[in-house]
Amino acid sequence: MAIILGDHQYGKAENRIVRIVRDTPRHEIRDVNVSTCLRGRFDAAHLTGDQGEVLPTDTQKQTSYAYAKTVGLASLERYAHALAVHFVDDVEPVDQARVELEEFAWERVSVGGAEHDFSWVRSGREVRTVAVTVDADGSAWITGGLKDLVVLKSSGSEFHGFLEDEYTVLEPTSDRIMATSLVAKWRFGAVDVATFDFDAAYAAITTAMVETFASFHSLALQQTLFQMGKTAIEAVPELVEVRLSAPNKHHFAYDLARFGIENHNEVFHADDRPYGLIQASVTVEGAPDAGPAWDQYSGLV
């Protein structure tokens, strides 16, 4: 029985890069957490300890910071793509590179109603994610996403007519709180990396999903998720797939009848664990193969 090396990858995770553009008195800011990952011919490093084919993770870090200046972060996707292309093209043993990043959003401080030139408050809403994978032949797979988008509706959500067995004690309901902390990822089909407006796409996708969550009358979280994915694709036709993972953050109407107090879905206990966890993908029929688009590295994206 031979024991052999299987898949392997390595890189530098969580480079915390803040990029300021200060060419004018009105600065711009991009705040990202970048992870780079190389895939290729690194067998010797594992089998014999020979590092001759291994570009150090420290070098990948330096490159990430250098590209934050030379390429810039005006477009997250173009930055990630340029970095991945560099590793594939310029580092001989690399067959495929993947760059993942999280973006933390900042809002300009308003002072007396006017936007300040160089002061921001962190918005703290969802975290935007990007992953770009590039092959030796130049093929690229681009995904976007978000996480920690916490939404809640206090009406317009039902759950009944479900399958029952001997362990079923849940009561059906025609009015409940529905809340989740959404993780979404989406895959672009053929887009021109150099010119596509990814920021506009992000805004359109996020708006579509939040508006659908709010206005779609829900018979189950599953149904809401499918609708959210569907309206996202309709909003941005370059998308070929949306993947959604949604914890059902349970809010239990608190039993106050014991104390002679009526509670018509007004006071809830927000429970931590356990939680329902619903996951679904929504795709365009005949979507191109995903290739390595979803092959994660850091676990953050």
Residue in 116, 135, 147, 191 binding a second copy, rule: CB under 8 A: 116
What is the closest distance, in whole angstroms, from the C-beta atom of residue 290 to a second copy in the complex? Answer: 10
Distance between CA atoms of 207 and 149, rounded to whole angstroms?
Answer: 12
Contact flag: residue 192 with a second copy (CB under 8 A): no
Contact flag: residue 41 with a second copy (CB under 8 A): no
> Catalytic: which of 27, 57, 147, 283?
57
Check whether 192 is labelled as a binding-site residue.
no
Distance between CA atoms of 78 and 59, rounded to whole angstroms?
Answer: 20
Contact flag: residue 190 with a second copy (CB under 8 A): no
Distance between CA atoms of 85 and 106, rounded to whole angstroms?
Answer: 29
Active site residue 250: yes
Contact flag: residue 269 with a second copy (CB under 8 A): yes
Alpha-carbon distances, residue 127 vs 105, 153, 300 (angstroms): 7, 21, 10
Least Cα distance to 219 among 160, 163, 168 occurs for 160
Active site residue 12: yes
Check whether 176 is labelled as a binding-site residue.
yes
Contact flag: residue 26 with a second copy (CB under 8 A): no
What is the closest distance, in whole angstroms, from the C-beta atom of residue 139 to a second copy in the complex? Answer: 22
Opening angle at CA 221, ends 217 and 224, nearest 5: 50
Distance between CA atoms of 235 and 212, rounded to whole angstroms?
Answer: 12
Question: Maximum distance among all alpha carbons in the chain?
Answer: 76
Contact flag: residue 31 with a second copy (CB under 8 A): yes
Contact flag: residue 168 with a second copy (CB under 8 A): yes
With contact defined as beta carbons under 8 Å apart, do 217 and 159 qualify? no
Tokens of 234: 């309709």
Classify the C-alpha dihedral 106-111-115-117 as positive or negative: negative
Contact flag: residue 279 with a second copy (CB under 8 A): yes
- Contact mark string toward a second copy, 51..70, x via CB under 8 A: xxxxxxxxx-xxx-xx-xxx
Active site residue 57: yes
Amino acid at 169: V
Q: Which is nearer to a second copy, 41 or 139 (CB)?
A: 41
What are 268-271's contacts with CB under 8 Å, separation 24+?
Answer: 268/177, 270/179
> Catalytic: which of 153, 185, 250, 251?
250
Select from 76-84, 133-141, 191-199, 236-244 the region that touches a second copy (CB under 8 A): 236-244
Contact flag: residue 136 with a second copy (CB under 8 A): no
Least Cα distance to 61 among 9, 17, 127 occurs for 17
Select from 76-84, 102-110, 134-142, 192-200 the region that touches a second copy (CB under 8 A): 102-110
Contact flag: residue 275 with a second copy (CB under 8 A): yes
Contact flag: residue 203 with a second copy (CB under 8 A): no
Catalytic residues: 12, 57, 250
Return binding residues for O2. Answer: 57, 248
Instruction: Output the known binding site for 5-hydroxyisourate.
Output: 57, 159, 176, 222, 248
